[in-house]
Each structure stands twice: as C-alpha cells, then as structure tokens.
A and B are shown apart, each in its own frame.
Chain A
Amino acid sequence: MIDVKNLVKTFKDGPIETRVLKGIDFTAQDGEFVAVMGRSGAGKSTLLYQISLLDEPTSGEIRINGKEAHLMSEHEKMLFRLTEFGYVFQDYALLPELTALENVALPILMQGAARSAAEAKAADTLTRVGLSTRLDNLPSQLSGGEQQRVSVSRAIAHTPDVLFADEPTANLDRESSARVMDIFRELHTAGQTIIMVTHEDEYAREADRVVTLDDGRIISTPALKQGGLA
C-alpha cells in the first residue's frame, strides 16, 4: 500500500521557484490499478517520480507498506527500487548494448541471482509478453511496441510490489498500445499494483481509479466500476 500525505515538490532555478506539487494526499491499495491524468504541466509525472522514489520531495510524507520512504537513505531507496518497484518509461529506456534478454535479466542479476537463473526468469517473462523469438535481439532490432514489451518485462520480471508506468503508450501505434495494455490488464488481474500516468481516456478506463491533477493538486479521484467510468 502507498500512502502519501501533503506532498510538496518545488523546483528552484536560481532565484525562480516553481511549486509543481502543492500538497498532495494520495493512496493506492495493494492490487489497485490507478491512472493519473491531467493536462500538460499539471504535475502527473512529478507525482509519479516522488512516490516511486526517483526524486526527493520538498516536504510531505511517503509511506510504502508502512515504511517511511521519505526518510530512507539513497542506498535504501536504490534497494527499494530494485526489489519492490518496477518502472516502465515512455521511451522504453532499454540499454542499447544489451539484448532483450540481458536488459530484462540485469535487475535480477543485481539482486544477486546467478546468471543462469536470471536469464531463465527473463526468458520466461519475455515469453509471457510474446517475445520468445526476440530474446537475442538488440533494442535497435526491435519495433517500438516490442521495445516497450521488453521494458514491461524488465519491470515485472522480479515480481515487484508496485509497477510504475509513465505514459507507456505515448510513443506507440494503436496496435502496440493495445498489446501493452493487454499485458497491464493481465497483470492487474493477477493482483499487480499499477500506477500509470496517461493522457488517454481509453487506457485510463482500464484502471480501478483515476486521479486527476490540475496545477499541482488532485481535483478528482473517482473510483471506476470494472471496465467503465463511474
């Protein structure tokens, strides 16, 4: 479970201060699929980066499964990101010199697994997302949709508590986007907690709840009935 209280994030550029998040209260339950929406500049991605421990809030509290994440050291945050979280970035974020298999295996290796075990797990995850024949391909040899599926595989291969996705379909065509959302649906059905930033109403409807931000504040957070807006 993720519990955020009065989260503030201010950016400083010399004398200029920009308050992007202005006191966010947010909760995500285990197994919940939350979509974060809002117009450009509302603070969606900034909120995602704070609760996924990629950035440090200016003030406020972030509790993850009861742990005070906002008080963790950099090393503790790194370990948390490695073991508890998975990330899917908008532009896939794959290492160009690693094959699909190696990209997915890398975080598992970092957890201390033997290479054979890590690659076996990576191969299994890539097969689940329909990429069993692309294990030895470099990212440059994959389509955008395939790269994003590799990115999803990397995010879920170590069975994280929470999957964070920042505009995962923004750079994909409709067919590829649909395939990625199919994977998210399957993961959600299996009990995966997902927090996804998106511009697209169509994909937000997959979520249990939509959190809408405007000007750094949550303006609505209605729960969705399964398969449709309330």
Chain B
Amino acid sequence: MFSLLNIRIGFYLAVRQLRRASRWTTSLIVFVMLLTFLNLVVVTGILVGLIEGINESYRTQYAGDVIISALSTKEYIEDTSGVLAFLGTVPQVTRLTKRYQAGGTIEANYLTRTSETEKPNATGAQVVGIDPSAEDAFTGLASHIIEGQYLAEGDYDQILVGNFLLARYAFGEQPGLTPLENVYPGTKVRLTVGGVTREVVVKGVVKSKIGELGMSVFIPASELRTIISRSDQNVAQIAVRLTPGSDPDAFKDLLLASGIGENARVQTFEDSIPNGVADIKTTFAMLGNGFSSIGLVVAAITIFIVIFINAITRRKFIGILKGIGISGEAIEISYVFQSLFYAVIGSLIGLFVLYGVLVPAVAAHPIDFPFSDGILVAPIDGTAVRIALLVLTTVIAGYLPSRMIVRKNTLDSILGRN
C-alpha cells in the first residue's frame, strides 16, 4: 500500500499543491499548529515551572546544592569544625554558609499593652544566627530586603524579620502564627529564645516566597550564641554550593562515605524539599498534560476539516487522477505529506519561539506568583515527545478525510454525482 512509488507520487503532488496553495491559508494553518505546539509545551511547562520555581528559589535562597543539618536528636552538628575542614578539601565546594538555629518568639506590643489580660501581639519564629556577609554571598539575602537595611557584622541587638511574620504581608492569622502589627524598621520588639528575652530593633524586613526566609528572624550569629549561651562553634546547619555541573547526589554520597553522616544529616536540596511539593509538581504536570490535550484535539479537528474541505472541493480532480491511473494510495499520501508539512513547520517555529524567546525571557523575568517565582520548564525530551504526538495526530487527522474522499467511486467523483 505505502510503496515507494506511491510515496514518490504522493510527495510530488503534495509539493505542488502546497506551492500553489493560498499563502494566507497555509500561514493560518501553520499558525494553528504553532499555537497547539506552544499549548502542549507551555501550559504544562508553566504549571510545573510554578513548582520548579519554588524548588529553584529554595536552592538559591536557602539550601544550596547540599544542606548539612543537625540530627533530629541534636540541636547542632557535632564536630562542625571537622565537617568544615573536610568541606575545605573538596574542590567542588565553591561556597558555604553556616547557620545557628533556635525556636523563639517575637512580641511587638509589649510597650503599648496596658493590661495583662490584653492579648500580646506575639508570634513564634525560627531564629537564625548568620554571618551576614557569608550568608549574603551565598543566598543574596541582602537583595531580599524590602524595608530598612541588611545586617552588618558588628550589629548588636538588631534583627531582620521575615515578611510573613508581619501583618501587612502575611496571609492572615493561622494556628501558632499571629502576624505582628505595626512593626517597621526601627521598631523595638522583644525577642525570646530559650527563655532569654532581649529587646532588639528591627533593622530590616526580608521578603521571600519561601517559608524558610519569610517566616524567620535573622540575627548575627555571635549575638544568638550569646543569647542561647553557646560558646562552641557547632552550628545547626551548613548550606553548600557546588561548582556548576556537579552532581549533588554524588557529593552527598562522598560526605556520607567520609563519616559525616554519623554526626549530621546530609541532604541534597531535592531531598530537603517537603514531600508535598514533589507531589504537587507531579499533579500539576498531569493537569497540564490534560489541559493541553484539549488543544491537541482541537488542532486535530482543525486539520481534519481543512483536509476534508480541500479534498471534497477537489473531488473531481481526485476522480480524474484515479481515472488516468494514479493510485488512490498515492493521493492519500499526498494529503498526509501536506498534514506533515503543517505540523513540522508549526513545530519548528514553535521550537524557535519556545527556546529562543519564551524560556530565556521567563528565566530572566520569572512570573510573579504569590508563592513562587514561576519559570517555564521545557525539557528537550519532553518537548520531543510532544512534537511527535502533534505530528502523529496531525498526520492521522489528514489521512482520514482524504481516505474518505479518495475511496468514493471514481466516475461519480469525475461527474460530480453523489
């Protein structure tokens, strides 16, 4: 049926039909294919990218490539100096930051409360002791200051407050979280950590879409050690950034093989992301595929209609072709080639738009979702699968109507009889 001769003749006819078809009609059909391609890739890409944006923010603003934290039974990493010494010998490590952590509360209205029965405007928070310059070099924390100023090394009794802790930025009161009212840079607040209370000044407000920043209080590490009476240099967390292209899993294995796992928990940034996020990503991918499938069906119907109208209006010529001995299969193949042309050209233009324009543009200017800086995720293999799907669907959609018309009686077609 699909002999080489039929394919040759089909191609011969298709080229000439396309060459002499209306350029506007051809452009419109290719445009439909382009939109279908983008729908197939971009809808899923944005939905997955919404979550991937969270992951990427988590990696760049908090966890790095590998995060080493205290064991669940400990408050700090024992033999932190040994861990740091080992990390210093590994060439893949480009940068790291050390953090002390403790649970605490912040009270905002302690100066203005007139009655003991009045509810304190207080909230729980993770208090993070940092080396300001090292932390900024690692996460760019200073660039997330939206009010006030960033911490400096010699700062004393000054803190940074995450935006979700403040009423004007928070999503409202939730169990265990009462956003602070009327807290601005320069406002005095009461910080209580480990039973020790100290009056501090809010130096700046940190804005981030990831909870580890937005719901934390940052204080110079030296001051937090003083508050919690720690003189040792053991920290609660070490975030590590690796050279580009390094495999975080391999690095994790290296650390575990060195025995670090006995004193600390070693995770890649993907390991440290809460499970729910991965599930959401999978769910969004499924949703995206479902939505874009609708577009694929629409495109298939469009091609079907275009080819059907083309074939039905050319029914007489199809009859003549068969009459003079051109095989029906060759005629069908000519329509398949035309459908293939529309799909392939539309996909090629789509590839250029996707990787030449959209992906870099969204990477440079992420979509500002409330809880994520969304990016466009378009892996090459996934895109290739979608192109194959589009081409296959279009070819079938072009073959079916042509077969319907070609199979009609030859003489009836020539004479225009039903």
Contacts and interface: CB of A to CB of B under 8 A. Distances in A.
Interface of A: 49, 54-55, 78-79, 81-83, 85, 87, 89, 93, 95-98, 102, 106-107, 109-110, 112, 115, 138, 154-155
Contacts of B330: 110
Contact of A98 (B16, B323, B328, B411): B16
A58 to B, nearest CB: 14
A179 to B, nearest CB: 22
Contact of B323 (A54, A95, A96, A97): A54
Interface string B190-227: 00000000000000000000000000000000000000
B326 interface: yes
B20 interface: yes
A97 B411 contact: no
A81 B5 contact: no
Contact of A110 (B17, B19, B323, B327): B327
A89 B326 CA distance: 16
Contact of B325 (A83, A95, A97, A115): A83
A82 B325 contact: yes
A97 B410 contact: no
Nearest to B5: A112
Contact of A97 (B5, B20, B324): B20
A107 B414 contact: no
A54 B410 contact: yes
Contacts of A109: 8-9, 12
Nearest to A79: B325
Given A49-B411, A54-B410, A107 B20 contact: no
Contact of B324 (A55, A81, A112): A81
Contacts, number: 64
B contact residues, range: 20 to 34
Interface in B302-349: 316-317, 320-328, 330
Most buried by A among B5, B8, B320: B320
A110 B20 contact: no
Given A54-B411, A54-B414, A110-B9, A82 B20 contact: no
Contacts of A98: 16
Contacts of A79: 325
A107 B327 CA distance: 10
Interface string B391-418: 0000000000000000000110010000
Contacts of B317: 93, 95-96
Contacts of A102: 16
A197 to B, nearest CB: 14
Contacts of B12: 106, 109, 115
Given A93-B316, A97-B21, 13 more contacts: A54-B414, A81-B323, A81-B325, A83-B325, A87-B323, A93-B323, A97-B17, A98-B16, A106-B9, A109-B9, A110-B325, A138-B20, A154-B324
20 contacts: A55-B410, A55-B411, A78-B325, A78-B327, A81-B324, A82-B324, A82-B325, A82-B326, A87-B324, A89-B320, A93-B317, A93-B320, A95-B16, A96-B20, A97-B16, A97-B17, A106-B326, A109-B12, A110-B327, A115-B12
Contacts of A96: 20, 317
Given A49-B411, A55-B411, A107 B324 contact: yes
A201 to B, nearest CB: 26
B160 to A, nearest CB: 72
A112 B9 CA distance: 9
Interface string B159-197: 000000000000000000000000000000000000000
B322 A78 contact: yes
Interface string B51-64: 00000000000000
Nearest to A114: B8
Nearest to A95: B317
Contacts of B19: 97
A106 B325 CA distance: 10
Nearest to A52: B323
A110 B410 contact: no
Contacts of B327: 78, 110
A87 B325 CA distance: 10
A162 B194 CA distance: 108
Nearest to B323: A54
Contacts of A82: 324-326
B200 to A, nearest CB: 82
Interface string B10-39: 001000110111000000000000000000
Contacts of A55: 410-411
A154 to B, nearest CB: 7
Contacts of B8: 109
